[in-house]
Amino acid sequence: MDYSHQTSLVPCGQDKYISKNELLLHLKTYNLYYEGQNLQLRHREEEDEFIVEGLLNISWGLRRPIRLQMQDDNERIRPPPSSSSWHSGCNLGAQGTTLKPLTVPNVQISEVDAPPEGDQMPNPTDSRGLKPLQEDTPQLMRTRSDVGVRRRGNVRTPSDQRRIRRHRFSINGHFYNHKTSVFTPAYGSVTNVRINSTMTTPQVLKLLLNKFKIENSAEEFALYVVHTSGEKQKLKTTDYPLIARILQGPCEQVSKVFLMEKDQVEEVTYDVAQYIKFEMPVLKSFIQKLQEEEDREVKKLMRKYTVLRLMIRQRLEEIAETPATI
């Protein structure tokens, strides 16, 4: 990347700007921190506008359950027929690779777990009339049987699961089902979205909710920059989360971007945050010292005004004793 000297300004919020040169220095530090990882950011200029783009990590900080959509793009997922599902799943090996049959392809895979009504199973033969390969048959059956056992424990076949994943991302491996369609993501678990520096906070929220097919309105949530000190800074609707992340620095042990309920979290300023992690006895000692200091200031003011009141009274008496002249 070319981090050459730049002089123009880049917006980072309402009526807030940062020089492009300073932003590029922050961006260089950010990318050095994530060197070799997919969290590095790219920048480009489009129609004289400086744009940074890449992945932004967002931590779940919800206290109330969220609702997931029942269907993806109005597509209803129906359980497939048992014969086709078994047939489509049994050609997969343990590592997900396709196993080539040792005999003629017309051998029914479903015969292993659902044998015909007859007492004997048909021996596989090749298309040229050769003798059955009896030594290979047990190995092939054993492979099918292992896959069949794994298939019985799953609700959907691998093909259905892959189809679901193409339509929906998971939240910590969670996909929609009727029992857990309303749930709360693990606090502090991390996800990410690909955004750019021109996207405001509401746009990032909508993108994140759409990624996981969440029915809740984006207006119920807000993004917060949470520091390890306890400081919580709410990103405004006019802020650009990616720019805010760059300016905060790349280390998530210092600060993280959290998705939280808008009405459940209050902002915590730095002045307040520096006292949050103290133990109660320490805080009580701080309060006691502040009270003692306050008492000293009160006594000092009382002495000052007492002296001033005496001086005024004395002056009034002197004026009263002075005879009036005609």
Per-residue pLDDT tens digits for 174-219: 656 666 678 888 899 999 999 999 999 999 999 999 998 898 999 9
Mean pLDDT of the chain: 75
Mean pLDDT is lowest, of 83-87, 113-117, 311-315, for 83-87
pLDDT of 83-103, one tens digit each? 343 333 344 444 444 444 444
Break the chain into its structural domains and give their ranges: 56-65+185-274, 278-325
Angle at 303 between CA 299 and CA 306, to 5 degrees: 135
Residue 197: Cβ-neighbour burial (10 angstroms; 0-12, 13-18, 19+): buried
Q: Please, where are the H alpha helices in the chain?
A: 20-33, 82-89, 137-152, 158-167, 201-211, 241-248, 270-276, 280-321
Q: Taking 80 as the threshold, does the pLDDT of residue 293 lie above it?
A: yes
pLDDT of 50-68, one tens digit each? 999 999 999 999 988 888 8
| Whether the Cβ atoms of residue 145 and residue 86 lie closer than 8 Å to each other | no
What is the model's pLDDT at position 165? 55
Q: How far is 201 from 81, CA to CA, in rounded Å?
A: 45
Residue 206 CB: number of other CB atoms within 10 A? 15
Q: Taking 90 as the threshold, does the pLDDT of residue 259 lie above it?
A: yes
Residues 236, 237, 239, 240: is their CA dihedral positive or negative?
A: positive
Q: How far is 169 from 259, CA to CA, in rounded Å?
A: 17
What is the model's pLDDT at position 266? 77
Q: Given the structure tokens 């921190």, which residue do they identify?
A: 33
Residues 219, 221, 223, 225: is their CA dihedral positive or negative?
A: positive
Exposure string over 56-89, b if 16+ CB within 10 A, otherwise e: bebbbbbeeebebeeebeeeeeeebeeeebbeeb
Q: Taking 70 as the threshold, does the pLDDT of residue 319 lie above it?
A: yes
> Could you tell me which of 81, 94, 71 has the C-alpha nearest to residue 164?
71
Q: How far apart are the first and last CA of the chain?
A: 94
Q: How far is 27 from 245, CA to CA, in rounded Å?
A: 10
Report how many helices (DSSP H) and strands (DSSP E) the chain contains, helices first. Answer: 8, 10
CATH 3.10.20.90 fits 56-65+185-274, yes or no: yes
- Of the pLDDT bands very low, low, confident and very high (cuts 50, 70, 90), residue 163 is low
